[in-house]
Structure formats: structure tokens, C-alpha cells
């Protein structure tokens, strides 16, 4: 079984048409992959995963994004003026935007060790591969924007191993 979301593809095309008409960029960050998926549909109740049909009408439904399907939908418009970017991991995206340096700067502004510790925990939650770092992806469509878009250029983490910590 493969999950397909025609509405997502239509939305991606609408975004591309709007960007093409007005210039600029549209950015999407969500959990997903750059290929077709199966079995990612899940139900969420009060921040806990539940069976999608356990309480119809009371369960939030969620599924991973197939970024390759969104890209193909935009490419099918045959608009050569629109550029696609990504998807890249959230780790890559945030490092390219300077999250490590920002976290360090914030930590240096406080002497409260608990706040420093919390900053490191939040940084790890957003960037570590086993947490949100590789589950979430950044993807964008643009026109008339200096290439490459910020966040999609190669990140150079301070420690050289890709984690920045």
C-alpha cells in the first residue's frame, strides 16, 4: 500500500502558481520523506499516538509528507521560472541558518545553568537525527529569489561532524 494525497499535490501546485505570479518563496517544514510512503497515517489525541479510528471525530489524523510527490506535481506545471529547493533535513536547514551559533549566543547571555541546560536540550530536540533533526524536512519553491535560498546551502557545523554540538 502507498499513501497518496492529491490535495497536497494540488496545494503545492497552487503555491507554485502564486510564487510564479508574484515572485518570492514558499517554505514548508514538516515530517516526511523524499519518496512514496506507506503506513504513516496515525491518530493523535492529547499529544499521544492512537489508532486513527479509535475515536472518530475526536482524533487528529496525521501522515508523513511525500516531498517527491509535491515536487513532481510542481514540475508537471512545466513552469521553468520556478525553482525547487530540498527537501533537506531539519538538522541541515537549521545549521545552515546558524542555529548552533544562536544557541551559543543565548547561552552566553545567561549565567543560569538551568536555562543553559534547557537551551542545549531544545537545540538537541530540534537537530539530533534521532529526535526531530532527520524526521522533519525543509522544502521550498521560489521565483526571482537569489539562489540558493538560505537554509538550503551547505551547512558547516563548528565541530565538523554535522551535529554542531
Of 64, 40, 73, the closest CA to residue 136 belongs to 64
Q: What is the pLDDT of residue 157?
A: 47
pTM of the model: 0.84
pLDDT tens digits, one per residue of 61-91: 999 999 999 999 999 999 999 999 999 999 9
Judge whether residue 160 has pLDDT over 50.
no
Q: What is the pLDDT of residue 154?
A: 65
* Cβ neighbour number for residue 10 with a 10 Å cutoff: 11
Q: What is the pLDDT of residue 159?
A: 45
Amino acid at each position: 500500500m502507498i499513501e497518496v494525497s492529491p490535495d497536497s499535490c494540488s496545494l503545492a501546485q497552487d503555491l507554485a502558481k502564486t510564487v510564479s505570479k508574484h515572485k518570492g518563496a514558499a517554505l514548508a517544514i514538516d515530517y516526511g520523506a523524499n519518496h512514496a510512503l506507506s503506513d504513516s497515517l496515525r491518530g493523535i489525541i492529547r499529544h499521544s499516538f492512537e489508532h486513527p479510528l479509535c475515536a472518530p471525530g475526536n482524533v487528529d489524523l496525521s501522515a508523513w509528507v511525500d516531498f517527491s510527490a509535491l515536487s513532481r506535481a510542481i514540475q508537471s506545471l512545466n513552469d521553468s521560472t520556478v525553482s525547487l529547493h530540498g527537501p533537506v533535513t531539519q538538522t541541515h536547514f537549521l545549521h545552515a541558518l546558524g542555529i548552533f551559533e544562536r544557541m551559543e549566543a543565548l547561552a552566553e547571555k545567561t549565567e543560569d545553568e538551568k536555562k543553559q541546560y534547557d537551551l542545549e536540550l531544545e537545540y538537541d530536540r530540534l537537530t539530533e537525527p534521532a529526535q526531530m533533526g532527520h524526521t522533519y524536512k525543509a522544502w521550498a519553491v521560489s521565483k526571482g529569489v537569489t539562489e540558493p535560498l538560505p537554509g538550503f546551502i551547505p551547512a558547516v557545523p563548528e565541530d565538523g561532524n554535522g551535529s554542531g554540538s
